Chain A
Amino acid sequence: MAAETGTPTTLTLKSNDDELFSVAESAAILSVTIRNMVEDGCAGGVIPLDNVDGKTLASVITYMNGISAIPADEEKKKSYRDKFLSDKDFETLADMVLAANYLNMSCLMDAVSAKIAQVMEKKSVGWVRRKFGIENDYTPEEEAAVKEEHKWTFEGVETDDDN
């Protein structure tokens, strides 16, 4: 799989479905969780990552390698992140935010959170409920009351019959 060998130190990561990945230590320590293990000297063998599946871990490692190859240039890193996330579907994004949280990678987490929020932008309540399979637990009266609470002042939110 997405292995990068030949670098001075490589670590072996194991996903929760027992796939093995080797990754350069310099890239892997973007994850604070892994960095702490390295610093504590317990990254010698195989590092088991119990909360991340193989498909997601492969993605995260692609990201680690990609972003660590970019020198300290925030603009370029940002455009890499945007490009990296642009073709991910919602389920992948949700898996990635969980993985990023577990691995303690704040830059990836912020980017994925923003990307998920972007999916919801300018969408109607009904769209959000349908898309995410959320059950409406308001009674019609309660919903009307919440709507009346604050009348928002911006225009441009699409109506219920949108995409």
Chain B
Amino acid sequence: MQMRMRPSTNIESLPEELLYDILLELPAEDIYKGARLVCKKWYKMICNPKFVYAHFHNSTPGLIVECRFDSTRPVTFVATRRGRIEVSKFNFEFRGVVWGSCNGLIVETVYDGISTHYITNPATDQRFDLPREEPDDSYSVMLFCYGGCADDIFSKKYKAVSMCCSTYNGSKIWSCAVLTVGVDKSWRNLLTEHLSVSEPLTTEGFVHWPHNEGEGAYVFTLNVETEIFTVTPVPQGCGGERLTYYLPTGKSLSLIVFCNDFSFEIRIFNEAHNRAQYAFDKSEEKKSSVGHRLRPPPPSAAGDGPKVEHCSYSDIRKKFK
């Protein structure tokens, strides 16, 4: 019988693609503090943009929590790892207020008479200064990633959207400014008249301003990539006296309408709807009028109107888990 003697298997004798898979499983802090310093071969593998991208998509999503009213409290990162909620201290000195994040990049704003915005990568301690804002002060800044194909990180572009408030003839006017990161030298002002003072809600690639005034309720939406605004009426029966609540749920915006103590109606603005330029459509109101709570949306409405989903309480838990 032929016995094949071979040296014991070690991490060095593994083919490169298997080592790659193993390193991908390491948390980012271990890669930066440990793995990339081990040897040049590991360093080369780790610093490849493809690895960075693959690792990013393999990483744990979580929330950055900052207490704006008490700067002595540390910024924390909350995530679920291995089925448990973990709260870790974010040992990074933010210069200003953390406004939002996208793909691990964070927008912060320092206010010293005029707003200055930065895009920060806390993982690499790199900062990118955004041009200073001309209008009085900005109310919030959001960061979006758009375009490009999923596999090519270099084709992706970032846009920052800022909500600012200017004083005009003694009254405050809200406006919205957009900046393509790395391309625009200054902020570009967009339409102003429909913006409300309410905190904008963001979903992937979209900013929404809900206007919830009785039966004429509507949602004003900005498609960040195309910079087109759309107005979507909230179906009749969802506004008015009934308690409603908007919730950004990742890709889409959901409207939760409380029917009674144990029942909610959930309406979801789907992506296809958001992509199309959408005018105020009276017929949509008819389709979704009161009394149709248990009726599924007609197939024809799926592409051009808000997708209506009905859920019991347990369904909601499943949906937003």
Residues of A bordering B, CB below 8 Å: 16-18, 53, 90-91, 94-95, 97-98, 101, 109-110, 113-114, 116-118, 120-125, 128-129, 132-138, 143, 146-147, 149-157
Contact = CB atoms under 8 A, between A and B. Distances in A.
Interface stretch (B15-23, B138-146, B287-295): B15-23
B30 A147 contact: no
Nearest to B23: A117
A125 B38 contact: yes
B90 A122 contact: no
Interface string B108-139: 00000000000000111110000000000000
B91 A134 contact: no
B260 to A, nearest CB: 34
Interface residues of B, number: 44
Contacts of A147: 37
23 contacts: A17-B3, A91-B8, A94-B10, A94-B13, A97-B22, A98-B15, A101-B18, A113-B18, A113-B21, A113-B22, A120-B34, A120-B35, A122-B30, A123-B30, A134-B11, A136-B39, A143-B37, A150-B124, A152-B123, A153-B90, A153-B91, A154-B33, A156-B88
Given A137-B40, A153-B123, 14 more contacts: A17-B1, A18-B2, A90-B11, A94-B10, A94-B11, A97-B22, A98-B9, A98-B14, A113-B21, A113-B24, A116-B25, A121-B27, A132-B10, A157-B30
B34 A157 contact: yes
A18 B1 contact: yes
Contacts of A133: 10, 12
Contacts of A135: 39
A123 B22 contact: no
Contact of A154 (B10, B15, B24, B88): B88
Contacts of B68: none
Contacts of A110: 21
Contact of B125 (A101, A124, A151): A151
A107 to B, nearest CB: 13
